[in-house]
């Protein structure tokens, strides 16, 4: 008479449960690794998108906050319309460190960077023209996928390892009970 874990049909169920945990752990490690190696912003849509027109008076300077979230990828476009393109742009982090050096824009300027801090990044626009106002169009797309896949990967890896460990402990307990029952049965026989 077989008891506990070794009952007919129970072993495949145990292996199936262990396989689920292993699959979760492998998927988690794969997502974790891809969060560092795959450029999700090249083929997935932006997580958030904002755009708008700004009228810049002569000698006006305007600061805009962009790029919240550690590990997010920021991609943007600045287009000028006015006299002869005296709009300059510079992007800094919250501590004042320069992320993208100051540039004078005439026509269109594309920029992109990956955030390294949770704090907002500051985009500073300046109209250097003495007597004319400029109209500026700014579009910013933010991609949080790397950070999102990192979190999901860590969560799945931990959940998979926990599921395997839990099942392994249950198997050990049932095996110990089976051995105890077998030993006590053999003593009385």
For 24-64, the pLDDT digits (tens) are 888 888 887 887 777 776 777 777 788 999 888 888 899 98
32: its two tokens: 């974790």
Question: Which bin fits 59, alpha (ψ -120 to 50), beta or left (φ > 0)?
Answer: left
pLDDT value of position 33: 81
* pLDDT number for residue 7: 53
Q: Is the pLDDT of residue 68 over 60?
A: yes
How many other C-beta atoms lie within 10 A of the C-beta of residue 6? 13
- Provide the residue ranges of all domains of the chain, joining segments of one domain with +: 4-38+148-188, 48-143
pLDDT of residue 53: 92
Instruction: Dig out the tokens for 35 from the structure.
Output: 């969060």
Check residue 163 and give its pLDDT. 86
Whole-angstrom Cα distance, residue 92 to residue 124?
A: 8
Which DSSP category does 61 fall into? E
Q: Which of 27, 82, 89 is nearest to 61 (CA)?
A: 89
Pairing of strands 108-114, 134-143: unpaired
Q: Classify 48-143 by CATH class.
A: mainly beta
List Cα–Cα distances, 52 to 22, 69, 139, 161, in angstroms. 48, 21, 7, 47
Select from 15, 1, 5 the least CA-distant residue to 178. 5
Predicted confidence band of residue 20 (pLDDT cuts 50, 70, 90): confident
Question: Which pLDDT score is estimated for 113?
Answer: 86
The half-sphere exposure of 103 on its side-chain side, counting CA atoms within 13 A, is 15
Q: How far apart are CA 18 and CA 124, in angstroms?
A: 54
Tens digit of pLDDT for each residue in 78-136?
Answer: 988 765 667 889 999 888 888 888 888 888 899 988 887 778 888 999 988 777 788 88
Cα separation, 127 vs 55, in Å, equals 10
Predicted structure pTM score: 0.62
């Amino acid at each position: 008479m077989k008891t506990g874990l070794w009952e007919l049909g129970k072993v495949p169920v145990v292996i199936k449960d262990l396989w689920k945990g292993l699959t979760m752990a492998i998927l988690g490690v794969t997502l974790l690794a891809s969060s560092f190696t795959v450029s999700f912003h090249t083929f997935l849509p932006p997580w958030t998108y904002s755009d708008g027109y700004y009228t810049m008076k002569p000698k006006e300077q305007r600061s805009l906050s962009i790029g919240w979230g550690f590990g997010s990828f920021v991609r943007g476009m600045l287009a000028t319309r006015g006299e002869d393109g005296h709009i300059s742009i510079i992007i800094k982090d919250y501590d004042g460190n320069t992320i993208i050096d100051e540039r004078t824009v005439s026509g269109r300027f594309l920029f992109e960077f990956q955030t390294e801090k949770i704090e907002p990044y500051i985009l500073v626009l300046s109209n250097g023209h003495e007597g004319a106002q400029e109209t500026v169009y700014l579009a910013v797309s933010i991609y949080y996928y790397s950070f999102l896949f990192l979190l999901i990967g860590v969560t799945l890896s931990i959940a998979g390892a926990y599921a395997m460990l839990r099942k392994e402990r249950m198997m050990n307990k049932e095996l110990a009970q089976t051995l105890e029952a077998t030993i006590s049965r053999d003593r009385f026989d």
